Chains A and B, each alone.
Chain A
Amino acid sequence: MAYAYLFKYIIIGDTGVGKSCLLLQFTDKRFQPVHDLTIGVEFGARMITIDGKQIKLQIWDTAGQESFRSITRSYYRGAAGALLVYDITRRDTFNHLTTWLEDARQHSNSNMVIMLIANKSDLESRREVKKEEGEAFAREHGLIFMETSAKTASNVEEAFINTAKEIYEKIQEGVFDINNEANGIKIGPQNPMPGPTGPHNAGQAGGSCC
């Protein structure tokens, strides 16, 4: 399907915070049978519209691979946006945010938009991390913040779309080098803008290699 831009996202955070659940919810796969993951050509992808333009979001889920640190790290470089997720019912997942953030900042391009997601907002009775704490952390580190529930779908759309809006604005401001696919942005085939050129660095394995 034709799109003006393709944005690549990565979802990161401790195990069990609901990363896969967010992805399934956003891509409308939550209540559909997962027939065969290995043939999921468009797995983890969805179209959205911003400013009247079709934008394709391609999302890398790192769930299950969190401990292979170099793998997550190798994904950062090709991502335009990151959803950094913690679980409001487990304080340790909040405490680990600094480590995740340092890792992300160190291994990504400097313009990557990071959205802090406080997930499982439906479990209010078991809450261990106050909303204000999340907000404060986000403010301090220059992140967008949102509380979501991947289970009830509350704010899930908004989380992905607001991140995309921020990336889109950065493109409009000319902050992103959209000709370098290593930034996690690709111009759609029908777009009149100049096509992306290959990365000029010798070390890159062509295109959006992981």
Chain B
Amino acid sequence: MSDEEQPPGTKPARAMGKEITMNALQEWGEEVEDGAVYGVTLRRVRTESPSGDLLTVASSPGYVHYKTCKVRSLRAGTLEKLVENLLVEYQGSDPGYVPTFLSTYRAFTSPEKVLELLLDRRLEKPGDKEPATPGSPIPDTPCVQRVVRGVLQTWLERHPQDFRDSPQCLQIISSYLSQDSRENPSQLLRLVRSLEDETDQDSSPKDWTSITRPSEGDCDTSGNTTCLLSYPPQDVAEQLTLIDVDLFQKLQSCHCLGSIWSQRDKKEHRHVAPSVRATVAQFNAVTACVTASVLSDIQMKPQMRAKVLEKWISIAQYCRFLRNFSSLRAILSALQSNSIYRLKRTWAAVSRDNLNIFHKLSAIFSDENNHEISREILTKDEIPLRRTNSARNEPRPLQRSASQVRSTRPAQGTVPYLGTFLTDLVMLDTALPDNVEGGLINFEKRRKEYEVLAKIQKLQLTCRHYVLTPKPDILQAFYTHRQLTEDQR
């Protein structure tokens, strides 16, 4: 494949019978070889200096040089090819390959199998000096071993949970590294050690969760809901956010994959995707809490009930300030549920200001254009919302938090409502086949899925910007209430 230099300002030129346009990328075709299908694209890249060509005019200053490169990316392959391609693409021309593979491989294989294939090449005869031709197995050379270690390091760094779930994989890596006497204790080894220590200690839960989660039969049986609402809305929103942030950071994005999450109700899959289940459980606990606080006291007068609604609207608004779209949606969906929605006299007693806020917040989750607003808001870099001067009798807007939020700008944390991503991933899983002709694993499907997972992972990273302090009494009030509603079910 020839690389081609073009003088600047040249209109699309013809090369190999295809038009090279000014687009950075152009589909070229497919290459098929044993056990793998590659997509080929032509990529125009700017070059700093022309590589010793004869076009002296073109090499004058002020001219921009482009080079057209042929780039192969794996579209489908056997598991062996897919694992081997990790080595090819580690620092290769398809930077999306390694993260895509590591985020999605659980849909088609296990960490043990990947590790076995990855390390297996050590067993190949090192005597074979043949250079790697396409299709032949990558030989075991010191250079390749370095790449293997690089891939392992990326895996351990980005997906430590894989190894917490399968400690035997850590042992395998550990013994692999110990064979390697040449290496000094590396970053990789340190990673393995720290994960091993962690598994030994059986990673302890965050102290605030252990303090406040109620133990069996430890429930105060009366007035807990009122108790939760007796705290300032801002504080309640902050504590809900604290819980949501913790759950979201612990979320394993691969649990969201359609092929994993949509199997959760089948008998043999009762334990899949615990990190998503935990998120759903918290979401439902919040809606249950809202519903109970509004409806449980049958005697309550509409005016009083309206005050409860207003309180929740205010909490929802603070969730919005905190960019906690999970609890925000949980509260709103409870308020919109038929059982609360139909309380006409109660709603009539809610102040106009609060209704406006409620409508504005609800508009975020409009289904228009496939939930366009709620999707876009997740990546919007925004100045923390100033409260409309309308809501009276409420604590002053974000006095404490505002400083916190402001100090973390422009990096703000965001907790999304996970359900939209889950539906997208189920849809992708339904629409795209797992395998293509010849039984090869359809890696294009995994790339599509990774586009969604990458969004989740990116948002997870933003969560380190949250600065929230646990308030045990509020958490206690919430958890106690949660326990009660679960018992009533």
Contacts and interface: CB of A to CB of B under 8 A. Distances in A.
A209 B425 CA distance: 23
A167 B258 CA distance: 32
Interface string A182-206: 0000000000000000000111111
A70 B287 contact: yes
Given A16-B265, A60-B367, A77-B338, A206 B419 contact: no
A210 B258 CA distance: 23
Contacts of A63: 262, 423, 426-427, 430
B106 to A, nearest CB: 17
Q: Lowest 6 CB-CB distances: which A-B pairs, in order?
A: A205-B362, A64-B422, A202-B347, A203-B347, A64-B426, A20-B430
B311 interface: no
B280 A68 contact: yes
B337 A201 contact: no
Interface in A146-200: none
Contacts of B283: 68, 70
Contact of A24 (B339, B342, B365, B430): B430
Contact of B423 (A29, A65, A205): A65
A20 B262 CA distance: 11
Given A20-B426, A24-B430, A206-B359, A14 B344 contact: no
Interface of B: 258, 261-266, 277, 280, 283-284, 287, 329-330, 332-344, 347-348, 350, 355, 358-359, 362-363, 365-367, 369-370, 372, 375, 419, 422-432, 448, 452
A34 B359 contact: no
Contacts of A43: 370
A67 B262 contact: no
B275 to A, nearest CB: 13
Interface string A85-120: 000001010000000000000111000000000000
Contacts of B280: 67-68
A70 B431 CA distance: 26
A68 B419 contact: yes
Given A24-B431, A64-B427, A67-B284, 4 more contacts: A16-B262, A41-B369, A92-B265, A210-B333
A205 B360 CA distance: 8
A64 B348 contact: no
B367 A210 contact: yes
A15 B375 CA distance: 24
Given A37-B427, A65-B422, A69-B284, A203 B258 contact: no
A74 interface: yes
A74 to B, nearest CB: 5
A201 B427 contact: no
Contacts of A202: 344, 347-348, 350, 355
Contacts of A121: none
Nearest to B432: A34
Interface string A49-85: 0000000000011111101111101101100000000
A144 to B, nearest CB: 23
Contacts of A37: 370, 424, 427-428, 452
Contacts of A204: 341
Nearest to A200: B344
Contact of A64 (B262, B366, B375): B262
Contacts of B342: 203
Contacts of B334: 70
A92 B348 CA distance: 43
A92 B287 CA distance: 27
29 contacts: A14-B265, A15-B264, A16-B262, A16-B265, A20-B429, A20-B431, A33-B432, A37-B452, A38-B372, A41-B370, A43-B370, A61-B427, A64-B258, A64-B262, A65-B423, A67-B277, A68-B333, A73-B337, A73-B338, A74-B333, A77-B341, A90-B266, A106-B339, A201-B344, A202-B350, A206-B362, A207-B366, A208-B367, A209-B365
Contacts of B333: 68, 70-71, 73-74, 210
A106 B266 CA distance: 27
Given A38-B375, A209-B336, A209-B362, A15 B428 contact: no
Contacts of B363: 205-206, 209
A84 to B, nearest CB: 16
Nearest to B349: A202
A149 to B, nearest CB: 14
A44 B370 contact: yes
A127 interface: no
A61 B280 CA distance: 18
Nearest to A34: B431
A201 B341 CA distance: 9
A4 interface: no
A205 B359 CA distance: 5
A143 interface: no
Nearest to B281: A67
A14 to B, nearest CB: 6
Contacts of A69: 284, 287
Contacts of A67: 277, 280, 284
Contacts of A39: 370
A29 B431 contact: yes
A15 B261 CA distance: 9
A70 B362 contact: no
Contacts of A77: 336, 338, 341
B366 A209 contact: yes
Contacts of B432: 33-34
B448 A70 contact: no
A210 B427 contact: no
